[in-house]
Structure 1
Amino acid sequence: MNSLARVNSLNWIWRTLLEADLRKCTGTLVGAGLGALAEAVHLQISVHFTILSLVMLCAVVYGQRYLPESTGKELTNTDMPKRSGMKKQFKVWSEKRTLFIGIIVLGMAFAEGAANDWLPLTIVDGYGVNSTIGSFVYGLFVAAMTIGRFAGGRILDRYGRVRVLLSCALSAMLGLTLVIWGQHYIVASIGVVFWGLGTSLGFPVGLSAAGDNPQGAVARVGAVATTGYIASLVGPPMLGFLGEHYGLLNALILVLVGTVISGFLSRAAKPL
């Protein structure tokens, strides 16, 4: 693959990931707004969830017809030796660069998942505000993430992947510090904005870095994505357990440690 084709391939990977995450952020932002509105008008949660379930069902039934038949398939060279998917997944973790990128994504996805699952309750319990304010503060987080991902393409083109990941980690660290030790919900709200901006690009940029080498890109991207989803699924219950014993604000210290590690390893995402 020549250099121009390689650059175009990497740009396509990045743009595709970014567009998918933008759609997710936009949907989450709308959901946060609807949740805050439902709380403000005292809509029963059973009615709220029933309406949302019907809307989601209609959207899935309508949208599935537009999925290409080749979705999720990879064209491979028939001359290459075949290897089981499980074998590929384990082999890529022997690569130092892939391992470090996986840890970066793990830390940033953990920070994102923690906010998605616990931020409203953390603000309500930690700062003694009502649930409407908690929903509004979560909306700030999602709005900051959405803005970060809208601006992500230009920022990445101008400053490069390593600087962007390091800046994201530093922003998330600052935001989490203000949330944990801010002493007032206004200060915590400012921290939430930095937290959202910091986590906005970690996951998609990490996946893009994992796909630098077209040879075996699917296995590497799949492995790194798995770490991100594990963090999003396992991390929040772990925070809930810690929060019950030590308080949710104190539990976020674990998330802060994860962002510090991600920032420290950001150089691993340097383009090949």
Structure 2
Amino acid sequence: MPNTPTTYPAGLSRREVVAWRNGIFTIFALCGIGIASWMARTPAVKAALDVSTAEMGILIFAIAIGSILGLLLSSHLLARFGAIAVMSACFVVAPVGLVVAGLAVTLGQLYWVAFAGLAIFGVGMATCDVAMNLSGAVNERILGRTIMPVFHAFFSFGTMIGAGLGALAELLHVSIALQAGIVSAVMFAVGLLAVRMTQSETVLHVPDETDAAAPDGWRSRLAIWKDPRTLLIGLIVLGMAFAEGSANDWLSLAAVEGHGVDRPTGAVVFGIFVTAMTLGRLTGPRVLDRYGRVPVLRASAVLAALGLLIFIFVPVLWIAIVGVVLWGLGSALGFPTGMSAAADDPRTAAARVSAVATIGYCAFLVGPPLIGFLGEHFGLLHALLLVLVLIVVAGVASGSARDRTKTL
């Protein structure tokens, strides 16, 4: 059992540290709600804009474009303004983008205005992703116990809520503009309140060349990309994010086309994966605190790889579902543990978290079309073998995530 500190840096009380933790819980959940509530209405958006599937794919890609821009800017914004200011700005920028997209779809069928709105939304969400992971990692360090996987579990809860809200809005025939307005208002109001509950990440700050005040601050932050440890942690996050993202995008369809189930059953199979991953994140802190990052990451890679092999090659449905459970459990801890490892050194935390998050996001951006291309030529089940390769790479790179703050 880890020892919980009785005193905290910068004179913070336990009440302030716990409030900070709860604020980060809320921020993660709000981001999940915002993204999932929009994605749940994708068929309605396509119908309202009267566009082809290819044009819809381009529209969805707007979020990816905005996300890349947000990720590239995030370390510099965090160094200049700090996580609190950045997260506050994100809960203004992202809701504005969502409202613009909703109005463009509902009121005018303005395709390129919707594209611009979603790009703005992507900038806000991706920048907030880095800031909340940084703030969460510092809070984890101050609490003295692993909690990052639980933060990510709250994002999963948020996606469940968001998907439910989208389904309810569809059932009640709520316009996309009205839904976007309501969700945006909640994100703005609750998000800003949650940010006020957090503390500055500089409570563990050790001044060095990454300070914004340093003449070569930008150059130093970009130099983090040359650090082998950054790239190796990035590979862990990339492989496990690919394992998670491929399931989000293709598992339901792969179950239908590869195992011959009907579409409702395919949706249930995906629900089983999400449930297993969420449970893995909720139980992850205890496992990580007991066994350490490296053994847990290696075991996670083995579980995910075994689960994928079962799902791909075993034609018996109930056994394939066991594989899905293992796949979900194995995918649960890679991304959050990578974020914790990236933030080990307070001096380089913002730059390294930003770099690692950028590498990880490549899986979410490149993965769906790549799996789709391979699936078109070799079948979806066999296309998932690419995911297996990246999981193995993540397992091999796991040693780079060792907690250096515990190394004498």
State if a TM-score over 0.5 links the two structures: yes
Q: CA deviation at 1:9?
A: 6.2
Correspondence for 2:216: 83
Number of residue pairs matched? Answer: 263
Larger RCO (alpha carbons 8 Å, 6+ apart): 1
Shift of the 90–191 alpha-carbon distance from structure 1 to 2, 3 Å rule, reads same
Correspondence for 2:398: 266
Correspondence for 1:68: 195
Q: CA deviation at 1:271?
A: 1.7
* d(CA) in 2 for partners of 1:154, 1:83: 41
> Which one of 283, 286, 293 corresponds to residue 151 of structure 1?
283
Matched-pair contact (CA < 8 Å) for 1:175–1:194: yes
Correspondence for 1:180: 312
> Which one of 379, 390, 400 corresponds to residue 247 of structure 1?
379
* Pairing of 1:227-238 with structure 2 (within 5 A): 227-238=359-370
| Structure 1: unaligned runs, 5 residues or longer | none
* d(CA) in 2 for partners of 1:79, 1:136: 49
Runs of 4+ in 1 over 2 A off after TM superposition: 4-20, 27-35, 43-65, 67-85, 87-90
Q: State which structure, 1 or 2, has the greater radius of gyration over its C-alpha atoms.
A: 2
Matched-pair contact (CA < 8 Å) for 2:343–2:352: yes
- 1:197 maps onto 2:329 in alignment: yes
- 1:20 maps onto 2:147 in alignment: no
- 1:128 maps onto 2:255 in alignment: no
Shift of the 159–48 alpha-carbon distance from structure 1 to 2, 3 Å rule, reads farther
> Which one of 107, 116, 124 corresponds to residue 248 of structure 2?
116
The superposition leaves residues 31-89 of structure 1 with CA deviations (integer Å, 9 ceiling, x where unpaired) of 67789x99xxxx9789599597566345324423324369898657479624344x344
Letter in 1 for 2:355: A
Correspondence for 2:224: 92
Correspondence for 1:137: 269
Letter in 2 for 1:11: R
Letter in 2 for 1:101: I
Matched-pair contact (CA < 8 Å) for 1:172–1:199: yes
Between the two proteins, what is the percent identity of the paired residues?
44
> Which one of 181, 186, 190 corresponds to residue 59 of structure 1?
186
Matched-pair contact (CA < 8 Å) for 1:101–1:209: yes
Shift of the 99–46 alpha-carbon distance from structure 1 to 2, 3 Å rule, reads farther
* d(CA) in 1 for partners of 2:200, 2:294: 30
Letter in 2 for 1:134: G
Q: Is the deviation greater in 230-239 or in 134-143?
A: 230-239
For residue 22 of structure 1, give the secondary structure of its aligned residue in structure 2: helix
The superposition leaves residues 175-207 of structure 1 with CA deviations (integer Å, 9 ceiling, x where unpaired) of 100111011222221111000000100000011
Correspondence for 2:344: 212
> Which one of 120, 131, 141 corresponds to residue 11 of structure 1?
141
* d(CA) in 2 for partners of 1:79, 1:24: 30
Q: CA deviation at 1:158?
A: 0.3
Q: CA deviation at 1:260?
A: 0.5
Q: CA deviation at 1:24?
A: 1.4
* d(CA) in 1 for partners of 2:179, 2:306: 35
* Pairing of 1:38-53 with structure 2 (within 5 A): 47=173, 50=176, 53=180
Query: Normalised by the size of structure 2, how large is the TM-score?
Result: 0.57
Letter in 1 for 2:332: S
For residue 81 of structure 1, give the secondary structure of its aligned residue in structure 2: coil
Q: Is the deviation greater in 216-225 or in 59-68?
A: 59-68
Query: Normalised by the size of structure 1, how large is the TM-score?
Result: 0.83
| Structure 2: unaligned runs, 5 residues or longer | 10-136
The superposition leaves residues 126-152 of structure 1 with CA deviations (integer Å, 9 ceiling, x where unpaired) of 111111111111111111111111111
* d(CA) in 1 for partners of 2:170, 2:286: 43
Letter in 1 for 2:148: L
Q: Is the deviation greater in 230-239 or in 251-260?
A: 230-239
Matched-pair contact (CA < 8 Å) for 1:33–1:136: no
* d(CA) in 1 for partners of 2:175, 2:353: 34
Q: CA deviation at 1:219?
A: 0.4
Shift of the 47–172 alpha-carbon distance from structure 1 to 2, 3 Å rule, reads farther
Letter in 2 for 1:229: Y
Matched-pair contact (CA < 8 Å) for 2:146–2:286: no
* d(CA) in 1 for partners of 2:194, 2:307: 38
Q: CA deviation at 1:26?
A: 1.8
Aligned CA-pair RMSD: 3.3
* d(CA) in 2 for partners of 1:216, 1:61: 30
* d(CA) in 1 for partners of 2:301, 2:294: 11
Q: Is the deviation greater in 208-217 or in 66-75?
A: 66-75
